[in-house]
Structure 1
Amino acid sequence: MTLIQTQPRPAGANPAHRTAVEGMDEAEPQVCDDMSVEVALAVMAAARTGRLVVCDQDDQCTGLVTRTELAAVRDSSGYTDRVRLRDILGDHGSFASPLTTMAEAGQAMRSRRLGVLPVVDEQGSGLGILALSR
């Protein structure tokens, strides 16, 4: 897991230095990493979302999956119903701290080619999502 964390800013900080917690969207649905791909796709359909935050047994964020990624896994030749989200997470272990500035999060997302970045608290629990504007 890569946590992008910065030093706290003074209370009257410049609006250009907004923090991740000030700029994040509401948290996406969170699911456990032992969930199957089919169930995760059903959860996405029911929640009308294109992504899910994935957590481990200790409720710590471990990554994020998208509908496109899950559909590709399901349609692959090696797919079985035993494939779990933890098996396909890949390199989705980047997270932002609530104190990360929007500028720093945006730069990290662009350099890592991430469209979204979960914001997690000090215990690793999901707080919300940052998304690059198009």
Structure 2
Amino acid sequence: MTTHSPQSAQRDHGLTVADAMETCDYQIADDSTVDRANDILHSAHVEYLLVRDHNGRCEGLVTRIGLRPFLARSWYTERTAISATSHQRGPFAWPTMGLTLAALAMRIKRLAVWPVVDDDGYILGVLTADRATGVLAAAPA
């Protein structure tokens, strides 16, 4: 059985999450309602929103699929805060993390999108599984 440490993952290609992360323009406060999140998801034609807490730090990520149970009853969506939903929460990726390690973690956790935060927990962007795979595939061996 082979084990991988963060150091060996970074040596594989020398790539980090910062090399593959993308900006995320769509965020929502954790005290916003499910109804508001649904409106943003549909109007922006996006599959996910980053959720930030009252201090502006990353709290998680909410998806259209994750909101489905709450959208079944319209009165519920008007009163339910995003913080009360079950959505993807930390730990999150950080920009200096080895890209190979991050891609492995995403596969294990079955994540299509992973928020990337700085040392203080503020949102820097997102890492998508497709982007991580593409960058690693294009890297010289």
Question: Which one of the candidate residues 75, 80, 104 is aligned to 2:101?
Answer: 104
Q: In 1, are the aligned partners of 2:61 and 2:88 still within 8 Å (CA)?
A: no
Q: How many residues align?
A: 125
Quote the residue 1:27 is aligned against.
24
Question: Which one of the candidate residues 35, 41, 47 is aligned to 2:38?
Answer: 41
- Describe how 1:1-134 pairs up with structure 2 within 5 A: 16-75=13-72, 79-133=76-130
Partner-residue secondary structure (3-state), 1:57: coil
Q: In 2, are the aligned partners of 1:20 and 1:105 still within 8 Å (CA)?
A: yes
* Paired AA for residue 80 in structure 2: V
- 1:78/1:45 Cα in 2 relative to 1: closer, same or farther (>3 Å)? closer
Q: In 2, are the aligned partners of 1:51 and 1:65 still within 8 Å (CA)?
A: yes
Q: In 2, are the aligned partners of 1:64 and 1:89 still within 8 Å (CA)?
A: no
Q: In 1, are the aligned partners of 2:33 and 2:77 still within 8 Å (CA)?
A: no
Quote the residue 2:138 is aligned against.
none
1:73 Cα deviation (Å)? 2.2
Partner-residue secondary structure (3-state), 2:115: strand
In the superposition, the TM-score normalised over structure 2's length comes to 0.77
- 1:28/1:68 Cα in 2 relative to 1: closer, same or farther (>3 Å)? farther
In the superposition, the TM-score normalised over structure 1's length comes to 0.80
Give the Cα–Cα distance (whole angstroms) in 2 for the partners of residues 44 and 50 of structure 1: 6
Pick the structure with more strand per residue.
1
Q: Which moved more, 1:74-83 or 1:26-35?
A: 74-83
Pick the structure with more helix per residue.
2
Q: In 2, are the aligned partners of 1:17 and 1:103 still within 8 Å (CA)?
A: no
CA-atom RMSD, angstroms?
2.5
Give the Cα–Cα distance (whole angstroms) in 1 for the partners of residues 70 and 91 of structure 2: 21
Q: Name the larger-Rg structure.
A: 2
1:115 Cα deviation (Å)? 1.2
Which runs of structure 1 show a deviation greater than 6 angstroms over 4 or more consecutive aligned residues?
none
Give the Cα–Cα distance (whole angstroms) in 1 for the partners of residues 35 and 85 of structure 2: 13
* Paired AA for residue 16 in structure 1: H
